[in-house]
Amino acid sequence: MNSFKTIGLIGRQGNPQVVESVVAAEAYLTQRGIRLVVEEGTAAMLSPCSHPVKSRVALGKMCDLILVVGGDGSLLGVARDFAESGLPVLGINRGGLGFLADISPDHLEQQLGEVLDGQYTIEKHFLLSLELQRRAECIGRSTALNDVVLHAGTMSRMMEFSLSIDAEFVYEQRSDGLIVASPTGSTAYALSAGGPIMHPSLDAIVIVPMFPHTLTSRPLVVQGSSEIRVVVGDSTTPQPRISCDSQVDLAVLPGDEAVIRKARHSLNLVYPLEHSFYGSCRQKLDWASRLGGKVN
């Protein structure tokens, strides 16, 4: 694999540890002779910044790799911004679990160097596409790497909705809401709601009810090509919302219809060769715990 020549650098704002890793990454990449283009909001972390400073739109046109310093939340926004361009994205983890941002700050030069030397793999993570319709007219669109979530909008409230898949009625339900997640998002909010863990390579979507008023409503896994339609009930809470990756939030009214499909574009995530999804699960979800110690 060819090494990358021009790298766009993006760092999450408001975190001293992110600043530390942005400075370290900039120094190492400059030493390696890489041409850097720095996102506008990230440039303030480099004092002074001796590299071109551009918007994210410009980064998408000038770079052959996007380097993100932050947590998985930072990568969710980058996914929506850069998936359509097809640019590969590499994450340095300065967040929590770090399922998506895999480079360790403690091994930044070693792991980044391996990627620059061509020792990497690329995983494709498909996004979900949301179209919100009101009286058959589109009133909002967005994409999501993790999940699209319909919820009551206030604590301790329930809502009603109906679910159809590929034009076939599935059920009506009264619950706190519904999570529609990609395989990438199966280890996020859907997991905490009792959904299954799905390998990122699966072409499937999981539908997870949130605290339903029935004991038999369980997560449902459907084909990735499925069209999922959720219609908000007339007797629902007065403030329902629908969100994409908990970062894009839209108000919905009774009768509104959410149409969710697999998006046309995927996020190309770059990982070092030693990356393992199951290894990440063992480490980050504590699968290694056992009586008497831990399994390495």
Point out the residues that are catalytic: 72
Listing DSSP states for 97-144 in one string gives S-SS--B-GGGHHHHHHHHHTT-EEEEEEEEEEEEEEETTEEEEEEEE
Distance CA 220, CA 125 (A): 20
Amino acid at site 182: S
Q: Cα angle at 179 between 156 and 182, to 5 degrees? A: 155
Contact between residue 85 and residue 56 where contact means Cβ atoms under 8 Å apart: no
Residue type, 77: G
DSSP state of 189: H
